[in-house]
């Protein structure tokens, strides 16, 4: 576990002690709840920090800590929303997922971590009418579907940040909004980040 905090210090030196302490609690909390409900793959749990926490935090470079409203679409086990909410305590997060069991567990996790800037919604993102400054999402669906689903909760200037792999250029072919692909292997040296990308889309 501690080697991942070396990676954290390497790339996210802005983290203070208080935030690192909260991040250090994530492993045991998730290990407990993951034994009861499959929040993340149990086969992959030994890579919990790199594959889930640090991967989520790669979005930090595209978000400011200034009272923004952020929606995590298809949050699943709380990624990327939970790690980002620890880092950006001034921002408000809405974690949305259609699986009620996962949302119930996330409510308990946020309570244990005293994450007062996090709310959850058990439902579909199409039900959200409030406009958000940023949409974050990790490998939930195709890019066209994500844009279509979030029409009601975005506005002009909303930034959509997607963590994806594979042939994203093909998915972006018919997307006419301003967009850019960032290859994580150009920023992070760990093998895990090969073929991992962040797609930034600006709603017009």
CA distances to 25, 65, 82 from 134, in Å:
26, 12, 15
The whole model's pTM is what? 0.95
Count of domains observed in the chain:
1
Compute the average pLDDT of residues 23-42.
93
Structural domain harbouring 76: 2-202
The enclosing domain of 169 has a CATH number of 3.40.50.150
Q: Is the pLDDT of residue 13 over 80?
A: no
**pLDDT of the residue at 18:** 86
Confidence of residue 1 (pLDDT cuts 50, 70, 90): low
Does 5 score more than 80 pLDDT?
no
Tell me the pairing of strands 118-122 and 92-97: parallel
The conformation of residue 110, written as its DSSP 8-state character, comes to: H
Check whether 163 has a pLDDT greater than 80. Answer: yes
Helical H runs in 35-185?
48, 55-57, 81-87, 100-112, 143-149, 168-172
C-beta of residue 135 within 8 angstroms of C-beta of residue 150: yes
Q: What pLDDT is attached to residue 3?
A: 61
Q: What is the average per-residue pLDDT within 9-36?
A: 88
Q: Give pLDDT tens digits for 169-184.
A: 999 998 999 999 999 9
């Amino acid at each position: 576990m501690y080697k991942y905090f070396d990676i954290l210090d390497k790339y996210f030196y802005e983290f203070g002690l208080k935030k690192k302490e909260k991040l250090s609690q994530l492993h045991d909390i998730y290990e407990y709840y993951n034994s009861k409900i499959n929040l993340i793959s149990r086969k992959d749990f030994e890579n919990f920090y790199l594959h889930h926490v640090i991967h989520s935090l790669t979005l930090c470079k595209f978000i400011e800590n200034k009272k923004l409203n952020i929606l995590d679409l298809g949050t699943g086990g709380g990624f990327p929303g939970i790690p980002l909410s620890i880092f950006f305590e001034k921002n408000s997060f809405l974690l949305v997922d259609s699986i009620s069991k996962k949302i119930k567990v996330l409510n308990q996790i946020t309570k244990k971590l005293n994450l007062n800037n996090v709310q959850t919604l058990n439902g579909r993102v199409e039900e959200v009418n409030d406009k958000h400054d940023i949409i974050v999402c990790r490998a939930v669906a195709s890019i066209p579907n994500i844009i279509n689903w979030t029409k009601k909760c975005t506005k002009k200037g909303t930034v959509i940040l997607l963590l994806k792999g594979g042939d994203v250029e093909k998915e972006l072919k018919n997307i006419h909004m301003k967009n850019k692909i960032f290859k994580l292997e150009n920023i992070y040296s760990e093998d895990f980040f090969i073929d991992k990308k962040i797609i930034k889309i600006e709603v017009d």
